[in-house]
Amino acid sequence: MEKREQWGSRLGFIFAAAGSAIGLGNIWRFPTRVGENGGGAFVLIYLLIMFAIGIPVMISEFVVGRKGQKNIVGSFTSIKNTPLWYGVGFMGVLSGFLILSFYSVVAGWGVSYIFKFITGTFTGNVDTTEIFIGLITDPIQPLFWHLVFMGMTTYIVLKGIGGGIEKYSKLLMPALLGLLVLLAIRSLTLSGAWEGVVWYLKPDFSAITTETILASLGQVFFSLSLGMGAMITYGSYLSKKEDIPVNALLISLADLFIAVLAGFIIIPAVFAFGFEPGAGAGLVFMTLPAVFEAMPFGSIFGFLFFVLLTIAALTSAISFLEAVVAYFIDEVKWDRKKATLIIGTIIFLMGVPVSLSQGGITIANIDFLDLFDNITALVFLPLGGLMTVIFVGWVWGGKNALSEIEQEGVKFKLGNAWLFLVKYILPVVLFYILASGLYPVIKDYLPF
Ligand code: PHE
């Protein structure tokens, strides 16, 4: 049997997996969801869910991938070969298509901002809302940037895991961190920023509903790249001597740190400049340029920021594409080049209605960005996570999973607690959150 490609080093893996986790989910989606879901209460639930559900699920995904040594579908079916588990894996492949098609459109907006800062669009007293709306409602321009972004993603995945994914991640993640810290300082020192900080951190418990909980759960899954098999795929390139739980913890903490930091940039600025926190998908693209306008050398920082945002988005996008491509390579027997090019093209095409619907060119008034985002984050990803923990706890067997983790001297101190969670608690909790969060949405369609 041909030996599976592996990560070049431990650090390389951590950077690549953190690179998958850290992306638009942290910088764009997290502040937006905090804004829509009432601030501090959402943040608190997010934290709870991340530790109680997110990290245990991430450990489960890594271990399934490392045991299976294959793509999402193949990793499940090499442990238990039934149509059900093929289907669960395939749902992950489908999520990859759906998420990347809107992810790339949003990332494309970011890429276009790099050029807007170079050409001085944001200098002087300009209305950042107008500029943003002008961009996304244009039928052609955002499609061009979506094409550019998908092109870059496809190119890196073509190069394979060591040369492409690992090399780029190691270089760029630290740079992003530095710039975010700088921006947070600027944003926090704007006048009027404090009100935002309070709103961000002070939980208003009356704002917590089942929908808030589902929204937090969806955000945890989205942000940690869980529930679609990206982490299964990355785990399959992991060597047996790696300590999976420690890696999962480090990756999740890094992801959390960046999300919280992004919140400290966006939310105070929203209050300082009088934007609406619930303004939705465009929040980041409208508030941030306003922050840059308000700082010396703002255009240079703006330029740098969007370069790094693009990179963070790229390291995530390659993990979706890699997960989907790995399926077609292993299971459908395409070669890497064919798989990458065909899938890259399909995803580009799926992004077209997403982009056009922002300008009102659509079918039945559907905003495809919201639609794809909501079905995946609120349904497919948590459902994928639910099935993964059932798989690990009951089908493959928790004990077997634990011995896969504990090899070559690795000791999982909280192993039994993790087993208990995965077997008894998480299946129930995940099912309950999914069912109660979705019930209000689907009850009109139910016959009873
Ligand atoms: N975690 C990525 C982000 O925060 C998005 C992602 C989701 C990547 C699912 C892979 C799988 O941007």
User: What was the pLDDT predicted at 64?
Assistant: 95
pLDDT tens sequence across 404-440: 999 888 888 898 999 999 999 999 999 988 888 777 7
Radius of gyration of the chain (CA): 21
Of the listed ranges 160-169, 260-269, 350-359, 383-392, the least confidently predicted one is 160-169
Distance (angstroms) between ligand 1 centre and the Cα of 413 equals 28
Distance 228 CA to ligand 1 centre (A): 9
Of all atoms in ligand 1, which is nearest to the CA of residue 21? 1
Test site for ligand 1: of 29, 105, 221, 223, most ligand atoms within 8 A of the Cβ: 223
Residue 1 is predicted with a pLDDT of 43
139-157: average pLDDT: 94
Q: Is the confidence at residue 98, as pLDDT, over 90? A: yes
pLDDT digits (tens, 9 = 90+) for 25-79: 999 999 989 988 888 999 999 999 999 999 999 999 999 999 998 889 999 999 9
- Residue 276, pLDDT score: 83
pLDDT in tens, 296-321: 788 888 898 898 899 889 889 988 89
pLDDT band at 183 (very low <50, low <70, confident <90, very high): confident
**pLDDT tens track for 125-134:** 788 888 999 9
Does 62 contact ligand 1 (Cβ within 6 A)?
no
The predicted model scores a pTM of 0.91
- What's the mean pLDDT when you consider all of the chain? 89
| Mean pLDDT, residues 215-227 | 93
Here the tokens at position 25 are 């989910």
228: tokens are 């679609």
Specify the pLDDT at position 9: 72
Query: Residue 169: is its pLDDT beyond 70?
Result: no
CA-closest residue to ligand 1 atom 6:
225
Distance CA 344, CA 322 (A): 10
Distance CA 189, CA 184 (A): 9
Residue type, 342: I
- For residue 168, what pLDDT is reported? 66
Quick one: average pLDDT of 110-117?
94
pLDDT class for 165, splitting at 50, 70, 90? low
Residues in the chain: 448
Instruction: Let me know: does 271 contact 35? Beta carbons within 8 Å.
Output: no
Q: How far apart are CA 63 and CA 415, in angstroms?
A: 13
Residue 441, pLDDT above cutoff 50: yes
Q: Which of 284, 316, 373 to mutate to test the pocket of ligand 1 (most atoms within 8 A of CB)?
A: 316
Residue 409 in tokens: 């001297």
Residue 422 vs residues 65, 297, 339, 399, 416: alpha-carbon distances, Å: 16, 50, 34, 11, 10
Question: Which residue segments constitute the domains of the chain, with CATH numbers given?
Answer: 10-444 (1.20.1740.10)
Confidence of residue 166 (pLDDT cuts 50, 70, 90): low
At residue 242, does pLDDT exceed 90?
A: no
- Other CB atoms within 10 Å distance of the CB of residue 88: 22
Q: How far apart are CA 317 and CA 195, in angstroms?
A: 35
Q: What is the structure's pLDDT at 349?
A: 97
Q: How many angstroms does the Cα of residue 224 sit away from the middle of ligand 1?
A: 6
Ligand 1: which atom is nearest the Cα of residue 23?
Answer: 12
Is residue 383 predicted with pLDDT exceeding 70?
Answer: yes
Question: For residue 58, what are the contacts with CB-CB under 8 A and spacing of at least 6?
Answer: 224, 226, 231, 248, 251, 252
Pocket lining: 225 vs ligand 1, CB cutoff 6 Å: yes
- 328 alpha carbon – ligand 1 mean position (Å): 20
Gap from CA of 197 to ligand 1 centroid (Å): 26
Tell how far CA 139 is from the center of its chain: 26
Segment 82-90 shows an average pLDDT of: 94
